[in-house]
């Protein structure tokens, strides 16, 4: 595969750093997606209408509610899943010259599970802070920031509450990492192997758009169920994924599993593009720095011989 070319090992945190950059840009779409997913009933609400309503009723800055939690989530969830995927892929590549799709899926599933578990506390706080403005004033949590949310949840609902919804969250993380990272690698290899395009911005952009489309569709049902569970109050802590799924299908129909698909794609598309483009740039800079360092080392080693 084209992505299997030998390069200097990528620092573990690059994926998390790139994801944090993307999170700042797409946060309003993420918030709108959460609001749409939590709207009960069969009514249809558009993305633009919902965003305009939030800005009008709660203020424009409310579209960035929970940004600190979003960054906390990316710093944990994305750092682990991207870092673990890259390390596992390097390990597989060192054992076989041409990793198969099954090899990549095994790597992404493992990395996704680890990332989903590590990022669950940040994800719970993120969803709650984004959904707060939708609740009646008496029911709002009014977390000041992500760390305040973590401390208050631990004190008021117990540490276990930080891992509410970990089942569907880990499942979603596995699906997201597999559909996003593996499809990106596949689309990138196809574009490099079967088109005249060379490794660069156009290939990275095209591959990430297609990967975002695949990831959004695959993850939508699990994402909606996860959101419903995480925003539930302390009285509903016994909610299971199966019970939520059954209630949604019975009361709202199959379409409810794809609520918020449009803002999810509009969010995930740019996020995927920015994440992979920035990540590829980080890798390029790291490779350049690594090569320059090697050249300096060679030059320094050869200098005494010239004296």
| pLDDT tens-digit map of 253-266 | 887 888 878 877 87
Q: How many whole angstroms separate alpha carbon 62 and alpha carbon 280? A: 32
Checking if the pLDDT of 32 tops 80, the result is yes
Q: What are the residue ranges of helices labelled H in 38-157?
A: 47-58, 67-73, 79-95, 101-131, 146-157
Position 3 scores a pLDDT of 45
Is 193 in contact with 269 (CB distance < 8 Å)? no
Among 49-63, 135-149, 160-174, 223-237, the range scoring the smallest mean pLDDT is 223-237
pLDDT band (50, 70, 90) for residue 298: confident
Instruction: Give Cβ neighbours of residue 284 (< 8 Å, ≥ 6 apart).
Output: none
Among 61-65, 116-120, 161-165, 299-303, top mean pLDDT goes to 116-120
Is 39 in contact with 255 (CB distance < 8 Å)? no
Position 2 scores a pLDDT of 44
- Rounded to the nearest integer, the mean pLDDT of the chain is 84
Mean pLDDT of 162-177: 88
Q: How many whole angstroms separate alpha carbon 183 and alpha carbon 180? A: 5
Is 79 in contact with 72 (CB distance < 8 Å)? no
Signed CA dihedral, 78, 122, 214, 269: sign only: negative
pLDDT band (50, 70, 90) for residue 247: confident
Does 232 or 300 have the greater pLDDT score?
300
Position 268 scores a pLDDT of 79
Task: Report angle CA 125, 241, 261 to the nearest 5 degrees.
Answer: 70
Q: How many whole angstroms separate alpha carbon 32 and alpha carbon 264? A: 9
- Report pLDDT digits (tens) over 210-223: 999 998 888 888 87
Up-side HSE of residue 166: CA atoms within 13 Å toward CB?
14
* pTM score of the predicted model: 0.74
Position 238 scores a pLDDT of 60
Checking if the pLDDT of 87 tops 90, the result is yes
Q: DSSP per residue over 143-171, as a string?
A: -SSHHHHHHHHHHHH-GGGGGTTHHHHHH
Is 119 in contact with 80 (CB distance < 8 Å)? yes
Q: How many whole angstroms separate alpha carbon 294 and alpha carbon 290? A: 6
Checking if the pLDDT of 1 tops 50, the result is no
Of 2, 162, 25, which Cα lies nearest the Cα of 97?
2
- Report pLDDT digits (tens) over 88-131: 998 998 888 788 999 999 999 999 999 999 999 988 888 888 77
Q: How many whole angstroms separate alpha carbon 249 and alpha carbon 36? A: 17
Mean pLDDT of 66-78: 88
């Amino acid at each position: 595969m084209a992505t299997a070319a030998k390069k200097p090992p990528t620092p573990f945190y690059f994926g998390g750093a790139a994801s944090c950059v993307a999170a700042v840009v797409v946060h309003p779409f993420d918030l709108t997606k959460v609001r749409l997913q939590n709207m009960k009933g069969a009514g249809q609400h558009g993305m633009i209408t919902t965003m305009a309503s939030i800005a009008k009723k709660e203020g424009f800055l409310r579209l960035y509610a929970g940004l600190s939690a979003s960054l906390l989530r990316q710093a944990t969830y994305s750092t682990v899943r991207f870092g673990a995927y890259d390390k596992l892929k390097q390990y597989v590549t060192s054992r076989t010259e041409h990793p198969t799709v099954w090899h990549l899926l095994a790597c992404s599933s493992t990395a996704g599970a680890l990332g989903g578990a590590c990022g669950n506390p940040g994800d719970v706080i993120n969803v709650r802070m984004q959904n707060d403005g939708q609740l009646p004033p008496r029911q709002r949590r009014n977390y000041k920031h992500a760390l305040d949310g973590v401390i208050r949840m631990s004190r008021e609902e117990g540490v276990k509450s930080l891992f509410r919804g970990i089942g569907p969250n880990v499942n979603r993380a596995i699906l997201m990492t597999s559909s996003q990272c593996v499809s990106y690698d596949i689309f990138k290899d196809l574009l490099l192997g079967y088109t005249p395009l060379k490794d660069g911005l156009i290939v990275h952009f095209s591959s990430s758009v297609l990967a975002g489309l695949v990831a959004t569709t695959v993850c939508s049902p699990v994402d909606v169920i996860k959101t419903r569970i995480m925003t539930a109050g302390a009285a509903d802590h016994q909610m299971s994924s199966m019970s939520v799924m059954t209630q949604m299908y019975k009361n709202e129909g199959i379409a409810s599993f794809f609520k918020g698909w449009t803002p999810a794609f509009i969010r995930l598309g740019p996020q995927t593009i920015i994440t992979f483009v920035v990540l590829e740039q980080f890798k390029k800079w790291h490779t350049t720095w690594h090569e320059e360092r090697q050249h300096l080392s060679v030059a320094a080693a050869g200098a005494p011989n010239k004296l």
